[in-house]
A and B are shown apart, each in its own frame.
Chain A
Amino acid sequence: MSNFDQSIVSVSGRLTHQWDFTFYKNNGEIANRVRAELGSAQKQITIDRDGDIEIETNEVGTFYVTPGGVVAAGWLTDSKSLLVQQEVGSFTRTVDSIVKSKGSFATETYNVRFFFRFRPGNSLSLLREHGFKNILESVLGDQTPSDTDSFKFSTSYRKGGFFDFLELEATPKDVQLRYSRNGSGADFGSYHKFLEAVDFAGIMKDLKPFAEVLLLAEPQGVLGRRSLLSDFK
């Protein structure tokens, strides 16, 4: 098993729908319905200062319910588990259950995002040597500084009917990689259907070569993630 398969990934997602004009009047009722729907899967449900509903679950992170949609964040897993349908199923079921509890609203967009954090010892110089020096040189030419304190890069593009967004951010402390995929609400009947079409394996395959370079440069103590994640859960 490669290092990348074991690396921790934080999964977040979002489903936006038509604005619910009665949400702030009915948030208590919605929270009750969500609690009944999720049963033992939920750890705690609260209504925050803004009137949005915050749901903490036992397995798949935290969910926020707003008048315009459902936001999921903080589900920690590893790259290999993302390819196991059963593991992802728990996440998608939770999103769809919450959406069901809210009532019937036309979905506008779906989104899923993967977050990786790497800690290579020499993050900025590693990225420079990996090709990002060329980006700097294309802007600054022969005035390109030999050292940089931080680096940030993002790009978006259409891929197979989806709209993808890649973001890379580096400091001397760490390298943060975010990959998000967006779909139109009209194209999928549920969040489950959207994630089925997302092609997790394809995304992980695309990210793997770059991630492996960063992982190899990490200190040895950071390895062995899979077992630690199990302990953490």
Chain B
Amino acid sequence: MQGHNLLSARFTNNDRTTIVAEWADNADTNTIRTQYMEADDDNVQYKELLNHIDLDVIHENTIKYYKNANRNIIKYMEKVYKTSQSPLLSDKPVIEIGENMSTDNMSAVMKLIPMILFGDFNSEKYSESLFNLKLAIFELDFIKQSQSRKIKSEIRKAKTPIEILNNTVKIYNEIQNRPDNSKSNKKVSS
């Protein structure tokens, strides 16, 4: 580019057919001009560019650019992920439930149980929560195995967590007390 010094040039696409070059204006080196061109031996601009930079260097610049870009993308995504998942963004505590549940989280859940079971339960407000509890109960293997349609029906119709739990324990005890289940030592006290 007339009156300019080449700063850098790299390919912009995987096919390596398009190049972006940055030039500094000789009259004002703070003015950087961007030029896009076809990497075509017949292209006037490309031929001029190769007077300033070797094709191998353009390829090297491209590899460096994308390596750097990929590194930045990974860093950025990690940052977004961490921030996005952070409890700091939530106005409620986040509790992870599962086999690796922390003792702190377990303590928090235990403290909630008496309130949930024996406190005033607003079945209208927490209808979806109640529904989720029923879904979780029906996922239990002994409930799936049970033939007690009546008790299962009671669970479906239950309006409070304690109703659900009472009927669940009934089924559990029925199964535990079957003769063919004598090997089991598990008992649930009522």
A and B associate in one complex: no
Interface set of B (CB-CB < 8 Å, partner A): none
